[in-house]
Chain A
Amino acid sequence: MNRVELRNISKSFGGIAALKNVTLKVIPGEIHALIGENGAGKSTLMKILSGAYTKDYGQIFIDGKEVQIKNTHDSKKLGIGIIYQEFSLVPGLSVAENVFLNQLDTTGFWMKWGKMKMNAEALINSIGFSINPSLKVGDLSIAQQQIVEIAKALSENVRVLILDEPSAVLGPQEIQKLFDTLKKLKKESVAIIYISHHLSEVFQIADRITVLKDGTSSGSFPVSETDRDSIIKLMLGRSLDAMYPFRETIIGEEVLKVVGIHVAEKVKGVSLSIKEGEIVGIAGLVGSGRSETVRAIFAADKRKQGKIFLYGKELQLRSPRKAVSKGIGMVPEDRKQHGVILSLTVKENISLTNFKGITDHFGFINVKKERNNTIELIRRLAIKTENEDQEAGKLSGGNQQKVSLAKWLNRDCRVLLIDEPTRGVDIGAKVEIYNLINELSQKGVAIVVISSETSELMGICDRIVVMHKGQVQGELAKKEYSEENILRMSIGEVENATSGQLTS
């Protein structure tokens, strides 16, 4: 019998379908790999199983019985444990306290620290690691924290264990230990769901593979009956349609040159060069250091090393203000947190990047000028809003994204860094945003686009730089474009052209 059966699960966020009729069956004592591109719906599906999200439609069966999972408490009671990419540990508490946080022994008045520490230590030892249970979790390395997270899940006697990209933070030896632990759990007939991008790992550890693609399941296969290439084809295989408008590329001189940028742990020596009128894409998996690179160029985060040149002149950028004054703009990844201010009006948001044209010497705003300027931009970007005084929070995601872009059209940028231009945006608005990016590049703006959607990058970029683990893994010219090439590079399977070393 199936330990877990998800039948026809559907889920959408604000009108955008994240999952469409997905079915997944996992039997006890099996390691079931769930794979797919960024945004294919893997994490969403698992969040539904663990109660972090609720499904819109579909049924969930545990051991053949239909269950209702409305919150994380429900799923815990059913013996479902999940280890997220972002940990749920309390940094200020000790390892032992974290492991037993949900089941503190409350009999009697005194905490039984000694017993708790012993149990925690035994549990961690049992999965092949040793961590002092008295240490604060905040002082541990990321890999050690991951172990604590696993121990915490095991302490709750899980029957279904979900691991979301567990290997992303582990070194090769640690991964091996993790695999040993998983094999041990398998013998105890725990059903394990293993989410990963790394095909080599999946083929090493998993019994069956389910591929998700654009929120639907492309099928489940026993590992023995499939191979790497057919899985990659399943993960991709979407044709480029007419979504991407044609653009005539006129490439001028080099505008921005970045040499050897380092950002604490995340970016390790990235160099880029962007020319006038060029659109350069940056591809890579979540955590590959794409956003961190761009944020460092914009001086939103401190960089440890590296130089930035604009038209051959080195820039000393210490703050976004300096970057903006030099003509660099950034549309951040998270529009709701960083791109627009939801409680302010469209007008107030757009004006934020440039007050020069609409104020006098004393900073008093010329109401009429500001209004006209905003209306002009609203018209140019076709932002759907009641008027310029509408709160940005009331707009749809696509229109918020347009406001986030409009802020930079409001001043003359020479370089525009766009992180995820169309995430969570419907198709119509997507095309409009692509047109806008094209229009800017034709005016000679040098543009960098980061996207998790490889088809988007292939559709709009002149070349694509692929990042892997904080470094540039390689670069693809237009004629080398294929989703497979990009994917292979992002998971480190293609040798790095510059260093000539195999990383897979």
Chain B
Amino acid sequence: MNFKISLKRYLQFIIKYNTVFIFLIMLVVSAVVSDVFFTSTNLFNLIRQVTPVGIISMGMLLVILTGGIDLSVGSIVAMVGVLCALLTQTMTLPLAIIASLACGLLVGSLSGYLVSVHKIAPFIATLALMSIVRGLGFIFSKGAPVLVSENASVLTDFGSGNFLSIPNPAFILILTFAITAVLLKYNIFGRIIIAIGSNEEAVRLSGIKVSAYKFSVYAIAGGLSAVAGIITTARTAVGSPVMGVGMELDVIATVVIGGASLSGGKGSAINTLLGVLILGMIGNIMNLMNIPAYSQQVIKGLIIIFAVLLQRFQGSSK
């Protein structure tokens, strides 16, 4: 009897912190199946790989917290990546970066405008923009990869370099994470976004301008996607219109693995960050084990289902 109760308590504990547990399990599994996993080169690569998805996932988390979704993020990465490379050829680097960021913000704002003012379902609005923006990326680049100008070596050096043996872009991820975490916990912005995802009508009747908040989360997601696009271009020194294909799904998956509810109102920055690392580790360890790319997709999908089912238990055990 006693044993049963304590077992139940353990289970509840595990279910409550399921993201942390999945993360720890992944760490142990990775260490066991591959002896190169914990080498500094591999960890360096892992972190560099997850950085763009990680940065966008913070924006996606905000969108998902309001009960929305943004499918256009992968396309923004490509378009902004291409634009950034192109602009370095014609203007100074700071201007090129500012202009690229502005483009991402603009696309995000457009999604936000369609969703908050015209009440178009987020899935549809951002699906349309996903197509438009992907097309624009191809148009700007004429379908071919664009090289970053040699004058912009500061950008490429930053993108491929490291500080204290941590890839430079990872610091941007850490900064994004920290800001998101603080906003969600200590700022009315986060408070209201979570409230909107829980019960939009109740928030409206409390005298809060819901549309302004919904608008801004899409703008932020667009802006962060632009940051990820610039970082990717900086790392490879090339802006390619085929970057970030299917990336929106990876980003959504990380947020979901991190325990956020797609119906809104539930999710945290730290768990989303863990979700990013979990998804990154799955890919990384499968690469180390030489699992073919096609099988990797299947396994990744299965793990996502598993993670979400675990959260279902959490919901029902309440």
Contact = CB atoms under 8 A, between A and B. Distances in A.
B208 A351 contact: no
Contact of A319 (B186, B191, B195, B209): B209
Given A352-B195, A363-B187, A365-B186, A337 B208 contact: no
A378 interface: no
A348 B195 contact: yes
Contact of B205 (A325, A338, A344): A338
Contacts of B206: 320, 324, 352-353, 407
B207 interface: yes
B187 A341 contact: no
Contacts of B208: 321, 352
A343 interface: yes
A30 B234 CA distance: 84
B194 A363 contact: no
B241 interface: no
B201 A338 contact: yes
Main SS of the interface on chain B? helix
B144 to A, nearest CB: 44
B195 A320 contact: no
Given A337-B202, A341-B199, A363 B189 contact: yes
B186 A367 contact: yes
A371 to B, nearest CB: 13
A63 to B, nearest CB: 41
B204 interface: yes
Given A352-B208, A365-B188, A343 B265 contact: yes
B216 to A, nearest CB: 12
A99 to B, nearest CB: 32
Contact of A341 (B186, B195, B209): B195
Contacts, number: 67
B203 interface: yes
A332 to B, nearest CB: 6
A348 B203 CA distance: 11
A158 interface: no
A300 B202 CA distance: 11
A110 interface: no
A362 interface: yes
A341 B202 contact: yes
Nearest to A300: B205
Interface residues of A, number: 31
A256 B205 CA distance: 19
Nearest to B211: A319
A364 B205 contact: no
A344 B195 contact: yes
A290 to B, nearest CB: 17
Contacts of A337: 199, 201-202
Given A323-B207, A324-B207, A340 B202 contact: yes
A320 B205 contact: yes
Given A332-B205, A341-B202, A348 B191 contact: yes
Given A337-B199, A341-B195, A343-B265, A362 B207 contact: no
Interface string A330-356: 101000011111111000100111010
A305 interface: no
Of B187, B199, B202, B265, most A-chain CB atoms within 10 Å: B202
B49 to A, nearest CB: 34
B198 interface: yes
Interface string A311-327: 00000000111011100
Interface in B202-240: 202-209
Given A362-B187, A365-B188, A325 B199 contact: no
A353 B192 CA distance: 11
Contacts of A325: 207
Contacts of B192: 352
B40 to A, nearest CB: 38
A132 interface: no
Contact of A338 (B186, B189, B202): B202
A487 B114 CA distance: 48
Contacts of A226: none
A157 interface: no
A372 interface: no
Contact of B198 (A344, A362, A365, A407): A344
B209 A321 contact: yes
Given A344-B195, A348-B191, A339 B202 contact: yes
Given A343-B265, A362-B187, 5 more contacts: A300-B205, A340-B202, A353-B206, A364-B186, A365-B187
19 contacts: A298-B205, A300-B204, A300-B205, A320-B207, A321-B207, A321-B208, A324-B206, A337-B199, A338-B201, A338-B205, A340-B202, A341-B203, A342-B198, A343-B266, A344-B195, A344-B198, A364-B187, A365-B191, A407-B206
Interface of A: 298, 300, 319-321, 323-325, 329-330, 332, 337-344, 348, 351-353, 355, 359, 362-365, 367, 407
The 5 closest A-B pairs by CB, nearest first: A324-B207, A352-B206, A341-B199, A363-B188, A341-B198
